[in-house]
Structure 1
Amino acid sequence: MRRRKFLSLAAASLATPALNISRAWAAEPGAPLPIPEVMEIGPGAGNTLDAIRGTREFTGGATSETWGYSQDYLGPLLRFRRGRTANISVMNRLDEPITAHWHGMHVPGYLDGGPQLAFGPGETWAPELPVDHPAATLFYHSHVHGRTGPQVYRGLAGMIVIDDPEIDDPLPHDYGVNDFPLIVQDRRFDRSGRMIYSLGMMDRMHGFQGDQILVNGVIRPKLTVPAGLVRLRILNASNARVYDFRFTDGRQFHQVASDGGLLARPLAMASLQLDGAERAEIVVEFSDRSPVSLVSRDIGMNGVMNGGMMGDRGGSMMMGDRGMMGDRGMMGMDGNSGAPLEIMSFDVGEAAPAGPTRLPTSLPSDAPALGDPVRRRNFTLNMHTGGMMRGGGQTMGINGAPYVMDRIDETVRAGETELWRINADMMMRHTFHVHGTSFRVVSQNGRPVDSAQIGWKDVVRVQGPTEILLRFDKLASEETPFMYHCHILEHEDAGMMGQFTVT
């Protein structure tokens, strides 16, 4: 697709906003935050996830059809221990193939749960996972080619926590008391309040975004916390939306971990941006006992505020991140003027503070040296590769080719450090994920990045040339290769995905 044609399509789509859905119901915030049940996964049998159908009332009186792992929507929190084998069985009780991908986990390709490992209705997949990963917050979800977007959207996802018995965790870690999982998603609802997933042109182009924010499956919930340090494990489990989290009173907090595990030291900040599938652990001080809300800037479909195609300084129209902007302001694509999105609220209970009372100055992070790269690879994310998807819409791809399941795109040698350069063929935001390892971000948009502050990653925002340094220690065969892809789920379903072996 030529650039001019692409810009014309984007502008034309403004006549049919994707998110401005009138409704006859009101989504009331303030229900208690559900705390996911914990499933401790060890070497024994009996750890079973059943992929099942369910129903849920996200809003008063309206019932939505959902999917989940062993519950009506989402799944339990899976807790693994480093150095201990994890045996788990996943039973497919649905009517189409699924997988269980252990997103971010360092396991061989035949255990990774990618598209090659899909299993059908009535079948069970029972992997034995050798847990060789630093303490971290990870993600699990179905990963069937062409169906990842709708399956995750319906609820086939959950959080993983890996504990490392070799380190003394100096942070709050009493689960459900001062250590809380926050699975953040946006969902779209029709006039009656039923959750819907129906792709229009803008949804295919930018990824599907919803008009309501859920945390752990509840719209804008409330959490009561102790008056002290509280650890929040935040997972952006949305299909495409970017969040820029902050508190309404402007309070600072400290990031202590990213995708791959703990940072070298706590990092003070007042806002935190997470793209799809990114995770971050933050520690927040609530000793002042003041109620507060967690909100996000309403970042639009191309991932930035006031970004995208900008015009001159006169009275012309400019394409902003959410719609058409003229010299008198912005006409938002979702019918508002950029008001912050409320994520959830906090109040402080009467219970005495639990756990540590102050943050350490350093953290027990696992930071092996990668050394200099012996090889460089280039990846271009393509918004159009020719042809049409089944069901409508353009195919997407990487390096000029859409994903094909029986094609190996790259061959990587185990133990060798490589530098990957990722870019896009159009002025679009993407979110690049690599299976089987964690990596260091070296540069973005030609500017060096302090990788010690960002930490170990398995997802990185691509909004201009981006370089990552990585090494693979787990093997992947031609039968069960690793994947690299855009983690905007509608993009990967459209073919923006490749696969590689590690030998």
Structure 2
Amino acid sequence: MDIGEEAGNRIDAIAGRKAFLDGAETQVLGWSQDYLGPTLRMRRGRGARITVGNRLEQGITAHWHGLHVPGWQDGGPHSVIAPGRELEQTLEIDQPAGTYWYHSHVHGRTGEQVYHGLAGLLLIDDSEAADAGLPSDYGVDDIPMIVQDRSFSRRGELRYDDDGMALMQGFRGDRVLVNGAPTPVAGVPAGMVRLRLLNGSNSRVYRFRFADGRAFHHVAGDAGLLPAPLRRTEIQLAPAERAEIVVDFANGHPARLVSADVPMPMMGGGMMGRGGMMGGMMSGNSEASDGSDVFEVARFEVDPGRAARVATLPATLAGAPRPDFGEPLRRRSFRLDMMMGMGMMGAMFGGKPDLGINGKSYEMDRIDQQLRLGETEIWEISADMMAHPFHVHGTSFQVMSRNGRAVDHAETGLKDVVWVDGTAEILIRFDQPARPDAPYMYHCHILEHEDAGMMGQFTVS
């Protein structure tokens, strides 16, 4: 859906039923369709006018994940759309071309609502990136891939649990879906193909590679193009992270995109994952013959009827953002706390511990930080027990270091999610305001952690 300034652009949160496995239907949610939502396309330098309606019996929000919009348009927990109501917005788009997304963000129900389908892709086009030399025929050589893990009962019904140990590690399913389909097969042209990967899972971390070992080029991250294509053989994405990769299918051979089952590192050397204390292998998709924890994500078959428009990639990518944050004026520290309230032992016996940041669990009527518009800061984020994906609303940032080691901007590009396994430093600035009645959020993007209180909020003025 191409969103411009004209009226008539609309998405509605609706309930429906969908058959994922063997024709067995299960109850799901979606944006104007039975599961997930249409891809929304917006253009830099133009207003995007859209109406969001709620046809459910529960409140929802529409959070524009990664967009640089004021707090009252961001779609956080303070912007609930009640059942039967709608919200009309005009979003002023002024940020680089990239792959973003949208999802509901109701406090305490984000995990459940996103899991059942209230999510979709959002693409921004920028005239400065029009000549980047990348595949751009959407659906032909430019393919969206929302990757999610889900769990099903024997009757094919979606199962979701946010209690006990599922809360502590985040809920992890045993089957992988791409755009709502289990292990899909995509027809691709015999040439360069762009895959827009979104980790839309509640908590699972993916380490993508191709089963035949073929290399690909990483061309974009969370918030725009990289300065130049990077040749890789695997790429890791935590929840809510995005990556655009370009794969060459010119040899005509089919290919399988697979992922390792990534355990969640814990302080003290333990693991949350297979072989550790919490399990979570993709039993429904496991296909490795060597016994390793590898599962299939998608298959690609060359279709002679599809034309490849790109044969080679440029040495540099036009339209890649060149960040200039200026000198930081202050430093802030954020500690992601797992051992608050009843802690892990309580969770093991079915309790609901309060998780938090800097010793405080989230409260909607408390402002945790007050920032100044246009001022650059360094944020240091630390994890006290396990690794977490840390997301900040309303801006994009540059990752400076992880565990004391400098990070090259050319390898990550601008980000809005940073994987924190120990400590991470980010350089950040806000150029949009956020009021106390509609603040921005920072939080762990393991959705069960966010719902349990690992979230804070801040104003910008």
Please confirm whether the aligned pair reaches a TM-score higher than 0.5, indicating the same fold: yes
Whichever residue aligns with residue 38 of structure 2, its letter is P
1:208-247 per-position Cα deviation (integer Å, ceiling 9, x unaligned): 0000000000000000100000000000000000000000
CA gap 1:409/1:308 in 2 versus in 1, 3 angstroms: closer
Residues 201-210 or 151-160, more deviating: 201-210
CA–CA distance in structure 2, aligned partners of residues 73 and 352 of structure 1: 27
Shift of 1:294: 0.1
Higher Cα Rg, which structure:
1
Asked if structure 1 preserves the Cα contact closer than 8 Å seen for 2:186 and 2:301, the reply is yes
Contact 2:5 2:49 in 1 (8 A): yes
Equivalent in the alignment of 1:475: 433
Contact conserved, 1:308 with 1:321, CA < 8 A, in 2?
no
Alignment partner, residue 273 of structure 2: 322
1:73–1:352 Cα change, 3 Å: closer
- Tell me how far 1:354 sits from its aligned partner: 2.6
- Tell whether 2:459 aligns with 1:501: yes
Q: Separation in 1 of the partners of 2:105 and 2:306?
A: 43
- Which amino acid in the other structure matches residue 363 of structure 1? L
Aligned with 2:57: secondary structure? coil
Give the alignment partner of residue 186 of structure 1, picking from 145, 149, 160: 149
Cα deviation, residue 309, structure 1: 4.4
Q: CA deviation at 1:321?
A: 4.2
- CA-to-aligned-CA distance 1:84-124 (integer Å, 9 cap, x gap): 10010011000111000000011111110000101110010
2:373 and 2:106 mapped to 1: Cα distance? 26
Paired letter, 1:378: S
Alignment correspondent of 2:357 = 398
Contact 1:51–1:69 (CA<8 Å) still a contact in 2?
yes
Q: How far, CA to CA, are the matches of 2:317 and 2:50 in structure 1?
A: 31
Number of residue equivalences: 448
Query: Please, what is the CA RMSD of the aligned residues?
Result: 1.9
Of 58, 65, 70, which aligns to 1:96?
A: 58
| 3-state secondary structure, aligned to 1:128 | strand
Q: Which blocks of at least 5 consecutive residues in structure 1 are unaligned?
A: 1-38, 311-318
Q: For 2:78, what is the secondary structure of its paired residue?
A: helix
Please point out which of 45, 64, 73 is paired with 2:35.
73
TM-score, scaled to structure 1: 0.86
Is the Cα contact below 8 Å between 2:163 and 2:351 reproduced in 1? no
Report the secondary structure of 1:453's partner residue.
helix
8 Å Cα contact 2:165-2:278 kept in structure 1: no
2:330 matches 1:375: yes
1:299 equivalent to 2:258? Answer: no
Alpha-carbon separation, structure 2, partners of 1:155 and 1:288: 36
Q: Who is 1:358 aligned against?
A: 312
Give 1:332 deviation, angstroms. 5.5
Cα distance in 1 for residues equivalent to 2:58 and 2:75:
16
Report the counterpart of residue 206 of structure 2 in structure 1. 243
> Is 1:222 paired with 2:222?
no
Match of 2:388 among 430, 444, 466: 430
- Aligned with 1:439 (options 397, 406, 417): 397
Letter in 2 for 1:183: I
2:166 maps to 1:211? no
| Alignment of structure 1 residues 3-402 onto 2, 5 Å | 39-167=1-129, 168-300=131-263, 302=264, 309-310=268-269, 319-324=270-275, 334=281, 338-351=292-305, 353-364=307-318, 365-386=320-341, 392-402=351-361
Classify the secondary structure of the residue corresponding to 1:273: strand
Listed one character per residue, the Cα deviations across residues 159-184 of structure 1 (whole Å, up to 9, x for unaligned) are: 00100124323100011111010000
Residue 322 of structure 1: how far off its partner (Å)? 2.4
Amino acid of the structure 2 residue aligned with 1:439:
F
Structure 1: distance between partners of 2:122 and 2:228: 22
1:458: how far off? 0.1
Kindly state the Cα deviation for residue 323 of structure 1 after the two structures are TM-superposed: 4.5
* 8 Å CA contact retained: 2:255, 2:299: yes
Determine if contact 1:260/1:458 at 8 Å carries over to the other structure. yes
CA shift for structure 1 position 386: 2.4
The separation in 1 between residues aligned to 2:376 and 2:95, in whole angstroms, is: 18
Counterpart secondary structure, 1:88:
strand
- Partners of 1:69 and 1:76 within 8 A in 2: yes
What does the per-residue CA deviation read over 1:383-437, in whole Å, with 9 as the maximum and x for residues that have no partner? 13326999941011100000110111001111111000000222x0111000010
Gaps of 5+ in 2: none
Pair 146,221 (structure 1): closer, same or farther in 2 beyond 3 Å: same
**C-alpha displacement of 1:447:** 1.1
In 2, Cα distance between equivalents of 1:490 and 1:60? 29
Tell me what 1:21 maps to. Answer: none
* Displacement of 1:194: 1.3
Q: 1:216 to 1:400 in 2, by over 3 A?
A: same
**Conserved in 1, the CA contact under 8 Å of 2:174 and 2:280?**
no
Deviation at 1:367, TM superposition (A): 1.3
Secondary structure of the structure 1 residue equivalent to 2:261? coil
